[in-house]
Amino acid sequence: DCVDSIPDAAMGETWSEPAIGRVRLNNNPEWVVFFASGYSNLDNSNVGRTIYALDVYTGEKLKDWTLKEEASAAGEGSAELPEINIENALTASPMLVDLNTPDDVGDYGFVDRLYIGDLEGRVWKLVMDGAVRNNIDQWKRCVFFDAGDADGDGTRNWAPIITRPQVSMVQPGEPNVYF
């Protein structure tokens, strides 16, 4: 059966490939699909900056996280066409990471981190392990990396991160993130 649905107001053109992983919710293992809301060609900065988590089997939205928008700065945008001001968006695909090894009985095989890049040169991290593992409402998001304003002149460096970050585990529990 087809169900009528109304798209989420924060949804842009979702260019990211979904990432599927197993998480614990209320002490139950659940399969969840994560994806980004994508680029927006609308004059609305609330579109395109959201990470979604949906139940793999039902499509029910479990949670979304809207990421912070930085204020526009003079000269932001393309160096070739400075009049173009691109709103921030999540066009990259998320990377899911399990920090555990098979020796970590009970926690191995569950997603602990999500990493995703944005058009303003940041990589965001969603933390979903430890004391908050079972409660999706307590999963924390933060900026993991920010190209930012490297020379301090008030202009953010335009260094979009549009590919899925990659992760290697050289030491158990210590991810090395590449983008």
pLDDT tens track for 126-178 = 999 888 889 999 999 999 998 877 777 767 666 889 999 999 988 888 999 99
Tell me what pLDDT residue 52 has.
Answer: 93
Tell me what pLDDT residue 49 has.
Answer: 83
- Rounded to an integer, the average pLDDT of 93-97 is 96
**Residue 73 pLDDT exceeds 50:** no
126 vs 114: CA distance, rounded Å? 5
38 vs 27: CA distance, rounded Å? 31
Tell me what pLDDT residue 44 has.
Answer: 57
141 vs 43: CA distance, rounded Å? 25
46 vs 43: CA distance, rounded Å? 9
94 and 114 Cβ atoms separated by less than 8 Å: yes
Tell me what pLDDT residue 43 has.
Answer: 61
- Rounded to an integer, the average pLDDT of 62-75 is 70
- Rounded to an integer, the average pLDDT of 105-133 is 90
Q: pLDDT band at 68, cuts 50/70/90?
A: confident
72 vs 89: CA distance, rounded Å? 13
Question: Which residue's structure tokens are 């990432």?
Answer: 19
Share of the chain above pLDDT 70, in %: 78
